[in-house]
């Protein structure tokens, strides 16, 4: 009865391959969904974009924050270390 053992082995292999195929199909669907989202984002209506003036706002805020931090550091550092700023 080696043929019966071989048949059971083949059935087991077919089931394993079927599970792999299902997993691969799920991954492919996830990638398709992600690609669709990225395409939608890429080709989205551009009226919601920010103006160039608004685009510089984060930079302005960052510069203001950096200046405030530097001012606080100057107050906290001893007078001797203020004379030689490190880079």
Q: Looking at residue 20, what is its pLDDT?
A: 94
Q: Looking at residue 82, what is its pLDDT?
A: 47
Q: Looking at residue 15, what is its pLDDT?
A: 97
pLDDT tens, N- to C-terminus, the chain (87 residues): 688 888 999 999 999 999 999 999 899 988 888 888 888 877 776 555 666 666 566 667 766 777 777 777 777 766 554 444 554
Collapse the DSSP code of 38 into the 3-class scheme (helix H, G, I; strand E, B; otherwise coil) and give the result.
Answer: helix
Report the number of secondary-structure helices (H) and strands (E) in the chain.
4, 0
Chain position carrying tokens 């880079």: 87
């Amino acid at each position: 009865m080696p043929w019966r053992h071989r048949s059971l082995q083949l059935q087991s292999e077919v089931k394993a391959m079927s599970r792999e195929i299902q997993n691969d199909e799920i991954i492919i669907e996830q990638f398709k969904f992600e690609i669709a989202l990225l395409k939608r984002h890429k080709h989205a209506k551009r009226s919601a974009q920010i103006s160039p003036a608004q685009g510089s706002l984060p930079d302005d805020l960052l510069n203001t924050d950096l200046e405030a931090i530097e001012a606080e550091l100057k107050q906290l550092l001893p007078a001797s270390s203020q004379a030689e700023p490190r880079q």
